[in-house]
Structures are given as C-alpha cells and as structure tokens.
Amino acid sequence: GIGTTAPAHPLDVLGANTAVGSGASQLAVFSTSAYDTASTGGSIGFQGKKNSGGDYSENAWIGGLKENTGDGNDAGYLAFGTRPNGSAVAERMRVTSTGLVGVNTDSPTHHFHVSHNDDSNVTVGNIFDNSVTGIHIAKSGSSDGAGSVLKFSADSDTNQAAIAHIQDDTSGDANLVFY
C-alpha cells in the first residue's frame, strides 16, 4: 500500500482528494516520449490470461494523451480501447480536450458522435433530458440508395411497427414516409 499500512487490495493508493485541474492527483502515470509527438502520454493497460499456458493478453486500455505536437500546448484527450479476438487493442471511444465524445471515431465533430461504416443499426436508448435541442443521425458512406436513415417505431419490431421513417432515394433526396 502507498499512503496506508493496511491495504485492502494488492495495490491501494491513498491520498487527500484534489480538485479537478489542480495537477495534484492521487496517482499519476507519465510518458517519457518527446513533447512534440501527438498521442503520447500516460496510459493503463488491462491484461488477463488468455490461454491454459498462462500467456497474458492486453484486453483493454485507457490513455490520457497529448492532442497535438505544439511546444507548450498541453491540450489532451482521454481514449478508451478494447481488443477483439485475434486483433490488437484499438481505440473505440475518445473524449477530446473540448469535451466532444466520439464512439468509433478519433475525430468527433459533435458533442456525441457515433460512427460506423457498415449496414448495422445505431440504437439510441430512451432520452429523458428535455434540454436536448436535437439529435443528428447521418447515414455513413457517400452512395445514394433507398435505405432508411431514421425510423420511428411503436415497439422493438421496427419492420412491422414503423410509424414513420426518413429514407434517402437514388437521387440523394430525403423523403419522410408516414404509415
């Protein structure tokens, strides 16, 4: 234990609470990389045994990294990574220095930006915050075609219980269709 003589875990770090932005954390992870290299900084890897032979594999990762290469510019971002089977850990979510959150993108352009490049659905759960001024949902890719971009449904059976949907046609125009 650090700061304690009676740790409850393999590593306990105890210290006084500090204000966000004070520069005085209970635990600091430093990088010795050059200041003029983007995406460097402190990180934590989470590992576990991956097979009966006792080999370890990094399963997930969190990094507090420098957002730029500027001398004296300390803008940073927080990145979260996970590892699919048979691949390396890859960034899955980022919170930029300005507070933008990106899922499956390392360059979010909105407060909450979800990106994907396949035909699967992006599902947003119930939103109870009436202060939300709008939700921007955009179809990935540049090709036109008759496909639903946004569908409003009465229940989870979106094929049978659709109330309305916005569909793009082959000319690239959007049509609002009611049932």
- Per-residue pLDDT tens over the stretch 47-98: 999 999 999 999 999 999 999 999 989 899 999 999 999 999 999 999 999 9
Provide CB contacts within 8 A for 144, sequence distance 6+: 168, 169, 170, 171, 172
**Around Cβ 65, how many Cβ atoms within 10 Å?**
19
Residue with tokens 């094929």, as numbered in its chain: 159
Q: In this structure, are residues 153 and 162 in contact, taking their beta carbons and an 8 Å threshold?
A: yes
* SS3 (DSSP) at 128: coil
Euclidean distance between CA atoms 157 and 159, whole angstroms: 6
In angstroms, the CA 31 to CA 71 distance is: 16
pLDDT attached to residue 127: 45
